[in-house]
Amino acid sequence: MTKSLPRIAITAGEPAGIGADLCVLLAHQPLNAEVVIIADANMLQARAKALDVSIQIQEYSAKSHTAHLGNGSITVLHQAINQPAVAGQLDARNSQYVLETLKTAALGCVNQAFDAMVTAPVHKGIINDAGIAFSGHTEFLAELTNTPQVVMMLVGSGLRVALATTHLALKDVPAAITKSSLEATIRILHHDLVNKFGLKNPRILVAGLNPHAGEDGYLGREEIDIINPVLEKLRTEGMQLIGALPADTLFAKHHLSKADAVLAMYHDQGLPVLKHASFGEGVNVTLGLPIIRTSVDHGTALDLAGTGNIEIGSMLAAIELAITLAHNKLIS
């Protein structure tokens, strides 16, 4: 059979979390793609048994092309786990396995064996407990693909929220927002909104860092010294940048209705708003990478692993966006 559908690699994430459950449930969801799940096949079969879901596992072969029909069959690229997974119980001895699944997916995208990768959640803490410095897929994939800067953007309920800084302690945020890093972030965001999301001249709302965007310097100077000069420079190139706006009112309807995306200065300035609007159906997409990567908007939910009491909407939305971006890439 010749290839006609995008081939999407899905990493199952932390084996004690709900990533395995999501992969099992995908077996019964038809998708307009070939799907290759990168995980330990025995672990998936054990989780299917715990969930009382019937699945048939087909071994991945690069040469054969099989549409994901949702008939209970899943294609798995087996990667051996270190220790048997117990739902809800983290084990640092499996952290290296988790990272190997990410490497396999990402390098497969680089080599064009896969058209995109979609990641189920990993647990950042347990990977660090294993002695491996890890702050998130976003940073890991940037390093793996030698990409100097990437941008995290979450999409859901008609909102697009990108971040100027990602997984960083709050005390380190101000120093990380420099003129050059902010300019690079906006350039990546603008470029990918045009080239990957098909927006001709995207309008971007940019948040200030300080309360009330610094109140003319009385509540902080980052807007005056860094953010506004960068916006002014990029506006001279024709970019439609609105701000720096006070973050507390930036998400009001009258602002959002005039914009295609928001750039927040830090993780918990932007993501609570987006997750309030769309948790369980949102998608995390990494901009600026040489490969397509999307992800769920939620974490490992250790409390729910193996219970069957989970929502699959964010995983389906992440796969749909990966398929769309893969198609957009093919026709660009």
Which of 108, 121, 156, 270 is close enough to bind ligand NAD by CB under 6 A?
121
Nearer to ligand NAD, 92 or 304 (CB): 304
Residue 262 parent element (H or E): strand 261-264
Instruction: Decide: 160 and 262 in contact? Cβ < 8 Å.
Output: yes
Its sign, for the CA torsion 107, 113, 118, 121, is negative
Instruction: Decide: 102 and 137 in contact? Cβ < 8 Å.
Output: yes
**Binding site, residues?**
137-138, 167, 212, 267, 275, 284, 293
Which stretch in 4-12, 89-97, 130-138, 197-205 sits in contact with ligand 4TP by CB under 6 A? 130-138
Nearest to 131 by CA among 98, 100, 95: 95
Is residue 244 helix, strand or coil? Answer: strand
Residue with tokens 């997984």: 167
Instruction: Give the alpha-carbon dihedral of 267, 273, 277, 278, to 10 degrees.
Output: 0
The residue count for binding ligand 4TP (CB under 6 A) is 8
Which of 39, 81, 271, 319 is close enough to bind ligand 4TP by CB under 6 A?
271
**Binding site for substrate, residues?**
137-138, 275, 284, 293
The residue count for binding ligand NAD (CB under 6 A) is 20
Q: For 243, phi and psi rounded to 5 degrees?
A: 145, -165
Which stretch in 60-68, 76-84, 131-139, 180-188 sits in contact with ligand 4TP by CB under 6 A? 131-139
Binding pattern to ligand NAD, positions 295-324, x when CB under 6 A?
A: xx-xxxx-xx-----xx-------------
Cα(186)–Cα(320) distance, integer angstroms: 25
281 lies in the site for ligand 4TP, by CB under 6 A: no
Interface contacts to ligand NAD, rule CB under 6 A: 18, 119, 121-125, 137, 280, 284, 295-296, 298-301, 303-304, 310-311
- Interface with ligand 4TP by CB under 6 A: which residues? 136-138, 267, 271, 284, 295, 297
